[in-house]
Every structure is written in structure tokens, then in C-alpha cells.
């Protein structure tokens, strides 16, 4: 098998006496559509925080394209190509939608430290940000402040900022959380239309979404990998049904 895009080896973290992540061996292949599921408190977001460098593991390694990045800081991992969305929107609320995406694109292109030329005159940044908004059908809202947008649109901006980083790995932490079901299809469509070559890891509680989207599913329970396989295998696994699907009142 080729080198995975992102890999963890016996990754663990303890918060005091609580082992939030326990000996997790996880692989995300290039171009993968991978879902991470598990009951509340299973350590899904903690795993994302470990992958992105927000948290330092107590033990184990994180590898990106085969090289150890366990000691690499969060900002530098972003530069390598690992981007994430947050479960709860983390946006620049006082700024316009365009400015939000501009900031991400400017960082990636290395324009952000420049002090003289006005931001709006950096045509390459503006054009790329606008094109991105266009593909996400956000162009009509480009001039609006984040605080003026409904929550569903804000979730799309969250995605747009991340895509502005042109990541190789995209970690989506409940992209449709808090969005009314009448609007959530917009976000799901956007996720489905992501560039093929990006390796996507998605966390979600919505089993319809997970089973439609994922080619591979990892079930996390109590911080450890409980099961992993294709959607078919996971759906057929009686243990998974018992601890998770049954509990969710699904299938």
C-alpha cells in the first residue's frame, strides 16, 4: 500500500487521569473520503486536535506523507497542507465574507506580512478568494459581514476559509452541525464537490451523511479505535450496532 497521507502510530493523550485518546493507529489515504464516528465523548475532536497540532500527544506519533510531524507546530502543519474546520464556527465575525477568505488565501500565498500595498490591490488574492466563493455559491454574500449571515451560510464560510488554504488533508468537524436540515444539503453538496485529490476526514453524527459520503469509516469508542472498515462492514458489524448505531436509534 502507498504511504498514507496522514497516519498516527499508537497515538495517546491523557487529560489528568482521563485517557482521551488511547493507542490510536489511524491512516488517511490520499483522496480518501473517511468518516470518524463514535458516541459523544469518544475523543473524535481530540483526535483532530492531535492531528492539527493544537494538542501535544502524551505518547505516539503523527506522520504526514511518511515524515514525523509530531513536534511540528499548528501553524506549520497548516503550511504543510493540513487544514480543518471547527465544530463551532470560528470566523472573523466583524469582517466581510470576502475578507474572511482573503485572510486565509493571503497567508497561504505568503502575502500577509506585506505592509505597503493595499490589501484590496492584491489582485491575485482577491481573485482567488472570489473564485472560491463563487464555487461555494457564496459570491452574493461576499460583501456581507459574517454577523449578518444566517448560521448555515456561516458554516459554508468556515469551509471556504479552509479551502482557501488549498489543503492536502481536510479535517471536517461536524460541518453541518447546528444547521437546519432544510439548509444542510447545501453544505453536504459542497463537501461532496470537494476536489478529488484532497484526503477528507469527516466527523459527524448524521449517519445518513456518513454512510453516503464515506468510503471508509473508523469507529472511536472511549478514545480507542473500536472498529474500522467500509460502510458495509461497519453497518453489518453487530458490536458497532450495539454501542453506537443502536444507541443513536438508527438502522
Partner 1 sequence: MTVQQPGLAGHPAAVALAGRHRVRLWEPIPWILLLGFYFAFPRYLGFGTELLTTILFAISLDLALGYAGIVTLGHAAFFGAGAYTVGMLANHGIWNEPITSLILAAAMAAAIGLASGLVLLRTTGLTLLMLTLCTMALLEEAANLGSEYTGGFDGLANLPIPPLFGVFEFSPLFPTVQYLYCLAVLFLCFVFVRTLVYSPFGQSLTGVRENTLRMHAVGAPVNQRLVICYTISAALAGIAGGLWAQSNAYVNLSTLGLDRAATVLIILVLGGYGRLYGAFIGAVVYLALSHFLAKPYPTAWQLGLGLLLVLIALFARNGIIGLYDQLAARWRPRRAPP
Q: Does 142 bind partner 1 (CB under 8 A)?
A: yes
Q: Does 93 bind partner 1 (CB under 8 A)?
A: yes
What is the rounded distance in angstroms from the CA atom of residue 140 to the CA atom of residue 96? 12
**Beta strands at 216-221 and 224-229: parallel, antiparallel or unpaired:** antiparallel
- Identify which range of 29-37, 39-47, 61-69, 115-123 contacts partner 1 by CB under 8 A: 115-123
Q: Does 87 bind partner 1 (CB under 8 A)?
A: no
Q: Does 52 bind partner 1 (CB under 8 A)?
A: yes
What is the rounded distance in angstroms from the CA atom of residue 17 to the CA atom of residue 225? 19
Of residues 33, 34, 44, 122, which one binds partner 1 by CB under 8 A? 122
What is the rounded distance in angstroms from the CA atom of residue 228 to the CA atom of residue 122? 46
Q: Does 161 bind partner 1 (CB under 8 A)?
A: yes
3-state SS, residue 245: helix
DSSP 206: -
Residue 117 or 196: the one with the smaller Cβ distance to partner 1 is 117
- Quick note: the x/- pattern for partner 1 over 166-205, rule CB under 8 A, is ----------------------------------------
Residue 19 or 130: the one with the smaller Cβ distance to partner 1 is 130
Q: Does 102 bind partner 1 (CB under 8 A)?
A: yes
Of residues 76, 189, 208, 233, which one binds partner 1 by CB under 8 A? 76
What is the rounded distance in angstroms from the CA atom of residue 188 to the CA atom of residue 176? 7
Q: Does 215 bind partner 1 (CB under 8 A)?
A: no
Number of H helices, E strands in the chain: 9, 10
Q: Does 124 bind partner 1 (CB under 8 A)?
A: no
Cell of residue 141, nine digits: 454574500
Q: Does 112 bind partner 1 (CB under 8 A)?
A: yes
Q: Does 119 bind partner 1 (CB under 8 A)?
A: yes
Residue 124 or 189: the one with the smaller Cβ distance to partner 1 is 124
3-state DSSP helix/strand/coil % of the chain, to nearest 5: 40, 25, 35
Question: To 10 degrees, what angle do helices 151-163 and 123-135 make?
Answer: 130
Contact 167, 82 (CB under 8 A): yes
Binding residues for partner 1, rule CB under 8 A, total: 53
What is the rounded distance in angstroms from the CA atom of residue 1 to the CA atom of residue 157? 35
Residue 17 or 116: the one with the smaller Cβ distance to partner 1 is 116
3-state SS, residue 104: helix
Distance in Å, CB of 101 to partner 1, minimum: 10
Sign of CA dihedral 243, 21, 199, 107: positive
- Contact positions vs partner 1 (CB under 8 A): 52, 54, 74-79, 83-84, 86, 90-99, 102-104, 106-108, 111-123, 125-127, 130-131, 134, 139-140, 142-143, 161, 164-165
Amino acid at each position: 500500500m502507498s504511504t498514507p497521507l496522514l497516519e498516527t502510530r499508537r497515538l495517546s493523550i491523557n487529560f489528568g487521569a482521563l485517557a482521551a485518546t488511547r493507542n490510536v493507529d489511524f491512516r488517511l489515504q490520499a483522496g480518501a473520503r473517511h468518516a470518524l464516528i463514535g458516541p459523544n465523548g469518544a475523543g473524535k475532536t481530540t483526535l483532530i486536535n492531535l492531528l492539527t497540532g493544537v494538542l501535544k500527544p502524551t505518547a505516539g506519533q503523527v506522520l504526514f506523507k511518511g515524515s514525523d510531524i509530531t513536534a511540528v507546530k499548528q501553524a506549520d502543519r497548516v503550511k504543510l497542507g493540513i487544514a480543518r474546520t471547527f465544530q463551532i464556527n470560528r470566523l472573523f465575525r466583524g469582517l466581510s465574507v470576502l475578507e474572511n477568505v482573503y485572510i486565509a488565501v493571503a497567508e497561504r500565498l505568503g502575502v500577509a506580512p506585506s505592509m505597503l500595498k493595499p490589501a484590496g490591490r492584491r489582485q491575485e488574492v482577491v481573485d482567488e478568494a472570489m473564485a472560491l466563493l463563487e464555487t461555494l455559491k457564496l459570491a452574493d454574500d461576499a460583501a456581507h459581514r459574517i454577523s449578518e449571515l444566517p448560521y448555515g451560510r456561516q458554516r459554508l464560510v468556515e469551509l471556504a476559509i479552509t479551502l482557501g488554504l488549498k489543503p492536502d488533508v481536510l479535517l471536517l468537524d461536524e460541518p453541518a452541525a447546528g444547521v437546519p436540515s432544510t439548509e444542510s444539503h447545501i453544505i453536504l453538496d459542497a463537501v461532496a464537490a470537494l476536489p478529488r485529490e484532497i484526503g477528507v476526514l469527516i466527523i459527524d453524527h448524521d449517519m445518513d451523511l456518513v454512510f453516503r459520503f464515506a468510503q471508509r469509516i473508523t469507529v472511536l469508542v472511549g478514545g480507542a479505535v473500536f472498529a474500522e472498515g467500509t460502510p458495509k462492514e461497519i453497518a453489518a458489524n453487530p458490536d458497532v450496532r450495539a454501542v453506537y448505531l443502536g444507541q443513536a436509534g438508527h438502522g
